[in-house]
């Protein structure tokens, strides 16, 4: 599913049919049930705000667009699991947007790949060096943190899914991931 940029609105005739008097909670429930019409209405309602939150986090238009799209992909995938008793749909959307922006920004941060006194590597060598750096960095993490990172970034599992798979509390998983990302940042800084 392709999500339009916030500035790309549906044609007026289509907008009228997707604009709904439905509450955010109703729209989110319908999105969780697979309603594209509800998804479009939710996007119309919050697309610009999600983009602005992403732009505020990453400070780059292109990366913010990618992050906003990633945020709405997560909304589509996870709307069913939202518990509106724990907070408003708008607050949940903004949290999803911030997290997506941070994740997209992390992916866009280049890992150090240069080797001193060597000619520039070919594109194939770049990929190999990146992979070797990532494997080396992950190998320096404690086992529980490495596993959490691999499940989050290589298996594309949500924090809740990781907690379920590892039979651990959600807070524990979030702490492990945060700690692991900090360690990886330290490793990247040391090798830069």
Are both 104 and 142 inside the same structural domain? no
pLDDT of residue 3: 47
What does the pLDDT read at residue 12?
38
Q: What is the pLDDT of residues 84-94, one digit of tens each?
A: 888 889 999 99
Q: 57 and 2 in one domain?
A: yes
Residues 101 and 146 in one domain: no
Residue 132 belongs to a domain with what CATH number? 1.10.10.10
Domain that holds residue 188: 121-192
Tokens 């596993």 locate to: 147
What integer pLDDT is reported at residue 1 of this predicted model?
Answer: 41
The whole-angstrom separation of Cα 38 and Cα 24 is 10
Q: Tell whether 116 is covered by a domain.
A: no
Q: Sign of torsion, CA 7 11 17 21?
A: positive
Q: Is 87 left (phi over 0), alpha (psi -120 to 50) or beta?
A: left
pLDDT above 70 as % of the chain: 76
14-55 confidence digits (pLDDT tens): 333 444 589 999 999 999 999 999 999 999 999 999 999 999
Same domain flag for 3 and 82: yes
Number of domains in the chain: 2
Rounded CA separation 74/158 (Å): 9
In this structure, the answer to whether residues 96 and 12 fall within a common structural domain is: yes
Among the listed residues 101, 85, 99, 89, the one whose alpha carbon sits nearest the alpha carbon of residue 31 = 89
Host H or E run for residue 3: none
Structure tokens at 192: 């830069």
Residues in the chain: 192
| Whether 5 and 70 share a structural domain | yes
Mean pLDDT of the chain: 80
Of 81, 110, 139, the position where a domain reaches its end is: 110
Query: Same structural domain for residues 139 and 58?
Result: no
Q: Are residues 105 and 125 in the same domain?
A: no
Q: What is the pLDDT of residues 87-136, one digit of tens each?
A: 889 999 999 999 999 888 887 655 454 445 555 555 555 566 666 777 77
Would 125 be classed as within a structural domain?
Answer: yes
**In angstroms, rounded to a whole number, what is the distance separating the alpha carbons of residues 177 and 30?**
31
Mean pLDDT calculated for residue range 166-171: 91
């Amino acid at each position: 599913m392709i999500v339009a940029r916030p500035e790309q609105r549906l044609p007026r005739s289509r907008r009228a049919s997707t604009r709904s008097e439905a509450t955010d909670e109703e729209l989110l429930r319908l999105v969780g049930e697979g309603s594209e019409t509800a998804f479009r209405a939710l996007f119309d309602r919050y697309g610009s705000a999600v983009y602005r939150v992403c732009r505020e986090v990453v400070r780059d238009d292109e990366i913010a667009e990618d992050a906003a799209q990633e945020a709405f992909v997560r909304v589509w995938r996870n709307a069913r699991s939202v518990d509106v008793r724990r907070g408003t749909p708008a607050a949940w959307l903004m949290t999803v947007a911030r997290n997506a922006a941070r994740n997209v920004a992390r992916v866009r941060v280049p890992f150090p790949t240069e080797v001193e006194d060597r000619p520039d590597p070919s594109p194939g060598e770049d990929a190999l060096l990146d992979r070797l750096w990532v494997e080396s960095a992950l190998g320096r993490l404690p086992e529980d943190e490495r596993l959490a990172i691999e499940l989050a970034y290589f298996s594309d599992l949500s924090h809740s899914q990781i907690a379920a798979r590892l039979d651990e509390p959600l807070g524990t998983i979030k702490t492990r991931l945060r700690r692991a990302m900090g360690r990886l940042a330290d490793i990247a800084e040391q090798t830069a």
